[in-house]
Structure 1
């Protein structure tokens, strides 16, 4: 009984760590910026696929290099998803601040696009997209140096957008016909791909009759490192001070000379980069597919809402609580005690299924929010009115 309790507690904490590392980026974007980013799960997916690509690259090198691939995959996953988040903020989110419904619908559409992108991406599509980004955003960057750019911005976009699309499509069609790139298979396809953990992350630490897997211990340590890093960045760095200032009072921050648009872009890129790190960690627990992010998006939103919007401490407590409760319901620690009572045993077995465990957790969260609608750590003072 005691061993089962200890095993359930460790599994709950490790599951909470996975939830927390997935919710950290969302806590920043949703909590500090008020943006409902439905594409957060797909940013995690991009981080997971980045890990898969890095793994394959190091596998070709062979030898001891493969054992260190995860140390290179983590920063690269952060960089790739941070750039993707920056493009998303600059191209879509920036024009939808203060309009939560439109932001939700737009990011949901982006999530569908990213899912289909990883299913069908090949050399033709990759080259065409890269060429479009160079032409479109490069032209905007060059023309933004004009003093009257804001006045002619609409005409510039209306002219450059179809021109960039046309050139990119024509280039892709030419390459496909000339070099037969169109007939190549997609890089990933719709099927899941496997990420193999390095040898030093296999196995576990034996404690009694169960063992703590090295993979989950690594994710717990990575989560602690990310939480400490985010706290230090927000509390000790100049840009962290600017982010907190804009969060509390955007108008006053702009009057004091803080570049609010740069702060928004940096915050969104940081939250997106953390989603990539979460995807890298999640890839160590199972196969990676186009729908990987959808398995976590609901749980991560629950962590942020239950913990209190904009509260990192609340997200930590909520993630640990949700992960532990979910694992204790699934593992059914009271099973041996009620085994002799058939009706109770059947009831516990029914609710210990993963799907029913989620139903119970949802019900408990609904009851909790009826008592504390602002979460465990509600916002106070000026932030509530912002």
Structure 2
């Protein structure tokens, strides 16, 4: 497998694929952060999480067209507005879904799985009816095009660096929100003991709705990042939902550090293996290794200590 390459070529391959893995890692982290909040904190299996990501991607596409047609002088900055719009669009839809469906299904994980799977099909058909079945792509601003040449064999795309920065910012923001803010303390109180949290005046229903909305909003931001590296279609989110669940379970449900570590290890493994053995076999081998590890450590890489 390695004998056909020189040492310099192998070094360049590992560097390029490693950075490609970092871009995939950024998308995984943004997707998994939202899913970890919903699944880890609320115990809700959201099979429509990929469709919330695609909502963010379509909002980014519409924002791109809006600025291109009506505000061409400010087109270079449209992506920052698109991130904000994508977050609030996905968060508002998430709050509506929690209010209209999820709140009746707490403590019934299989029911939430079936209900959100049905929701994913509805959203896919909605996107198909509004935007068409064909995939669409956004026009990347000039300052995000091109690449930095590190060596004669290694080039790093600028849009990939931006996506990485976005993922790092989102991770830090979620960490501060969950572990340093008053609202984050309320979320963790509800997770540890819902009845006692209610007894001290915490509105658990409001916390649940905001938590679900936040998780969906982060998925919308992941959709904005996704437009930098791929085209958007009605079913594009399904390609990431399995990997995202794998990241959350492998890292340890509800663990922010575990989510980041799991996303990094899985994305790097897939990226490097894809070059040598192909995409399908890379996914199979990665899944096999993760399943074997989970057999010996079913709680995942990191676990939260909760009083019983």
Secondary structure of 1:296's counterpart equals: helix
Structure 2 equivalent of residue 356 of structure 1? 281
Q: Structure 1 CA distance, aligned partners of 2:14 and 2:119?
A: 42
State the 1:372 CA deviation. 0.8
TM-score under structure 2 normalisation? 0.95
2:292 matches 1:370: no
After superposing on structure 2, the runs of 4+ consecutive aligned residues of structure 1 that deviate more than 6 Å are none
The within-5 A match list for 1:109-258 is: 109-121=118-130, 188-208=131-151, 209-258=153-202
2:291 matches 1:324: no
Secondary structure of 2:287's counterpart equals: helix
CA contact (8 A) 1:55 1:66 kept: yes
What stretches of structure 2 of length at least 5 have no aligned partner?
A: 1-9
Q: Structure 1 CA distance, aligned partners of 2:129 and 2:95?
A: 23
Corresponding residue to 1:380 among 285, 297, 305: 305
Q: Structure 1 CA distance, aligned partners of 2:253 and 2:179?
A: 18
Q: Structure 2 CA distance, aligned partners of 1:234 and 1:353?
A: 38
Q: Structure 2 CA distance, aligned partners of 1:17 and 1:52?
A: 20
1:100-141 CA-partner distances (Å, limit 9, x unpaired): 0111000001100000011113xxxxxxxxxxxxxxxxxxxx
The within-5 A match list for 1:59-74 is: 59-74=68-83
Secondary structure of 1:212's counterpart equals: strand
What stretches of structure 1 of length at least 5 have no aligned partner?
A: 122-187, 333-351
Q: Structure 1 CA distance, aligned partners of 2:71 and 2:175?
A: 37
Structure 2 equivalent of residue 95 of structure 1? 104
Secondary structure of 2:149's counterpart equals: strand
TM-score under structure 1 normalisation? 0.76
CA contact (8 A) 1:26 1:301 kept: yes
Q: Structure 2 CA distance, aligned partners of 1:189 and 1:10?
A: 33
Paired residues, number: 298
CA contact (8 A) 1:38 1:297 kept: yes
Corresponding residue to 1:34 among 38, 43, 60: 43
CA contact (8 A) 2:15 2:154 kept: no
The within-5 A match list for 1:47-66 is: 47-66=56-75
CA contact (8 A) 2:31 2:219 kept: yes
Q: Structure 1 CA distance, aligned partners of 2:219 and 2:173?
A: 15
CA contact (8 A) 1:195 1:286 kept: no
Q: Structure 2 CA distance, aligned partners of 1:281 and 1:13?
A: 13
Structure 1 equivalent of residue 227 of structure 2? 283
State the 1:62 CA deviation. 4.9
State the 1:196 CA deviation. 1.5
State the 1:271 CA deviation. 0.3
1:208-243 CA-partner distances (Å, limit 9, x unpaired): 112111111111100000011011111222111111
1:231-284 CA-partner distances (Å, limit 9, x unpaired): 111122211111111111111101111000000001001001000000010011
Structure 2 equivalent of residue 182 of structure 1? none
Q: Structure 2 CA distance, aligned partners of 1:5 and 1:194?
A: 29
Q: Structure 2 CA distance, aligned partners of 1:64 and 1:281?
A: 23
